[in-house]
Amino acid sequence: MDLGIKGKKALVCASSKGLGLGCAEALAAAGVNLVMNARGAEALQASAERLRQAYGVEITTVAADVSTAEGQEAVIEAAGDIDILVNNAGGPPPGMWHDWDREDFIKALDANMLAPIALIKAKVPGMMERGWGRVVNITSQSVRAPIGVLGLSNSARTGLTGYVAGTSRQVAGKGVTINNLLPGIHATDRADMLDGGVVKARGISIDEARAERAATIPAGRYGTSDEFGATCAFLCSQHAGFIVGQNILLDGGATNITM
C-alpha cells in the first residue's frame, strides 16, 4: 500500500532502538525524511546511518533528553517544520505502590506526559496552519488495564491519554490527527529489563521468564518492532485521516477487555 507520505518530514523521539526505531524505519521505508532523537549519540548515529543507506531519505539526529526543558528546546529547534510527530520515551522503573515518592512521580510525568505535551504544543500549530499533520504517541497497554508493578507508568501515561482525548478533537478539523499506540510486550530492551527483574526475584532463567510471559499472550509470542512500526506508519499515512483520539492496543490479545 502506498501510504501517500513520501517526502514528508517526521520527528521520531527515542528512535535509536526498540519501538521508536521500528517506527522510524517504517516511515523511512515510506519515503519520509526524519529527525531522529535519542539520549545516546553513538547508537543514534549508527541507526540513522543504517536507515540513510537502506532508504535514501534525509535524516537529522538530535542527541538529547526530551524529558528536560533543554532537551525539548534542542529537538524543537532542530526539527523545524514537521508533518509527523512520534512521541516516545522509555518507561519508568517498576516497583510497588509504597516505593515511590513525589520525585519519582515528577520524573515519570516529565518523561511520559509533559514532554509529549510540550512537543505537541510546539509542533501541532504549524501542522494546523498547513492543513495536515499526524501525531502518534507511544504509551502502554497499562492505560487500558493497569499493571500493578508499573504504577508510575500507569499514572503518567494515563494522564497523557486524557490530554489527547480532548486535544485531538479540537485539532482534527484542521487536518491533524492525534492517536496513541499502546504496546504490550515486544522484543525490546524494555522487555529484557522487566524479564531480568523476574529472573532476579524468582531465581529462574531468562528463557523460562520469557516463556512464562509469552504464555500469557494469546498470540503466544512477543511482538516485534517491525510490526509495531508498520502500524505507526499507517496511522501517519494519508489513509488515517478519520482516526482521531484513539488508543490502539498492540499486545497480541493480552489485555482481556471487550472494548
Q: Are 110 and 144 in contact, with CB atoms under 8 Å apart?
A: no
Q: How many other C-beta atoms are found inside a 10 Å radius of the C-beta of residue 209?
A: 21
CATH class given for the domain over 9-184+225-247? alpha beta
- The predicted structure's pLDDT at residue 240: 98
Is the model's pLDDT at 253 over the cut of 90? yes
Q: State mean pLDDT over 88-108.
A: 91
pTM: 0.93
Is the model's pLDDT at 135 over the cut of 90? yes
Q: Looking at the chain, which residues constitute the CATH 3.40.50.720 domain(s)?
A: 9-184+225-247
Mean model confidence pLDDT for the chain = 95
Is the model's pLDDT at 27 over the cut of 90? yes
DSSP string, 25-45: HHHHHTT-EEEEEES-HHHHH
- The predicted structure's pLDDT at residue 179: 98
